Amino acid sequence: MTTTSPAAPAPVLLLVPGATGAPADGGAPFHLADATVPQLSVTDLVATRGDGVFETIGAFDGEPVNVGPHLARLSRSAAQIELPAPDQAVLAEAVDAAIAAHQPVAELSVRVMLTRGIEGSGVPTCWIHARVSDDWSPFRAGMRVAVLDRGLSTTVTGTSPWLLPGAKTLSYAVNMAAVREAKRRGAADVLFLSSDGFVLEGPTSTLLVRRGEEFLTTPVSAGVLPGTSVKSLFTWLQQDGVTARDELMTAADVAGSDGAWLLSSTRLAAPITHLDEAELPVDPELTARFQTVLKGQA
């Protein structure tokens, strides 16, 4: 599902040369490049090995949301694969420049990509790509979700850190394969299950569950990505004195809850209408308030 048609505004590409330091020639720390012509080398290690990390930042009416937390997470992901990360202030400036260079639209998706670079060069590749977001409105209205086994235990962070739990790497082929499996099962998205029986996260989203007046999410220690969206919502809920906290939950806990959502920076809050065959309550008014918070417009 995409709104990018030939008539849609062209995406904007910013390249960050010598990604982890000042450009060797003392030139600008980033420059605009033509997003419609090839820019990436076939020997870049992200092309040959999926060796890199990334972030996707939502920008609403031209304003990017949670830039600091996204760039801090990029640094953490980069550290997990022993890749030096570029200066966050330079990247933040580049994100603003990419948005400013794009035609104004309601919803932009800004990707910050960092790879191990061309094989043998030792120089990371970094670029920022701003494009019109997909049309997420059907998901924001509610979606069916399939529970799929991820095959990893909630102890993965301690036992097997080389599996990169909680890192946002550019090896998302498994995540995309899971979404295709969900579609074969008549669902729109996935909730991953650990091998020890707990719900984790979606392939591109964080789980939020309502139980009475409490809101719950999966602990990051279980090997999920620390979501910027869930952090924003928790801060907003806690300001109103609402309890929002981590808890390991089973699929039955979610199926029997008072509502559940998958959260992410560009799709925002997508309510789960069915978890496999179990129907969940949906609260459109609360969901609409979540969208406002996640757009940074509360």
What residue ranges bind ligand PLP (CB under 6 A)?
Answer: 56, 168, 201, 204-206, 225, 227-229, 263-265
Which value, in Å, is the radius of gyration of the alpha carbons in the chain? 19
Looking at beta carbons only, is 17 or 287 nearer to ligand PLP? Answer: 287
Q: CA–CA separation, 73 vs 256, rounded Å? A: 32
Q: 33: Cβ–Cβ under 8 A, 6 or more apart, which residues?
A: 13, 14, 15, 39, 127
The angle formed by the CA atoms of residues 194, 195 and 196, to the nearest 5 degrees, is 90
Query: In the complex, what is the shortest distance from the CB of residue 251 to ligand PLP, in angstroms, rounded to a whole number?
Result: 17
Looking at beta carbons only, is 17 or 228 nearer to ligand PLP? Answer: 228
Q: Are 119 and 30 in contact (CB under 8 A)?
A: no
Query: In the complex, what is the shortest distance from the CB of residue 263 to ligand PLP, in angstroms, rounded to a whole number?
Result: 5
The DSSP output letter for 79 is H
Looking at beta carbons only, is 28 or 286 nearer to ligand PLP? Answer: 286
Looking at beta carbons only, is 157 or 205 nearer to ligand PLP? Answer: 205
Q: Are 245 and 220 in contact (CB under 8 A)?
A: no
Looking at beta carbons only, is 53 or 83 nearer to ligand PLP? Answer: 53
Query: In the complex, what is the shortest distance from the CB of residue 36 to ligand PLP, in angstroms, rounded to a whole number?
Result: 25
Quick count: other Cβ atoms within 10 Å of Cβ 69? Answer: 18
Helix (H) or strand (E) holding 56: strand 52-60
> What token pair was written down for 211?
């139980």
Q: CA–CA separation, 86 vs 52, rounded Å? A: 13
Query: In the complex, what is the shortest distance from the CB of residue 165 to ligand PLP, in angstroms, rounded to a whole number?
Result: 10
Q: Using N-to-C axis directions, what is the helix angle for 67-80 and 228-239, rounded to 10°?
A: 130
Question: Left if phi > 0, otherwise alpha if psi is -120 to 50, otherwise beta: which for 186?
Answer: left
Looking at beta carbons only, is 56 or 157 nearer to ligand PLP? Answer: 56
Looking at beta carbons only, is 275 or 294 nearer to ligand PLP? Answer: 294
Residue, CB closest to ligand PLP? 229
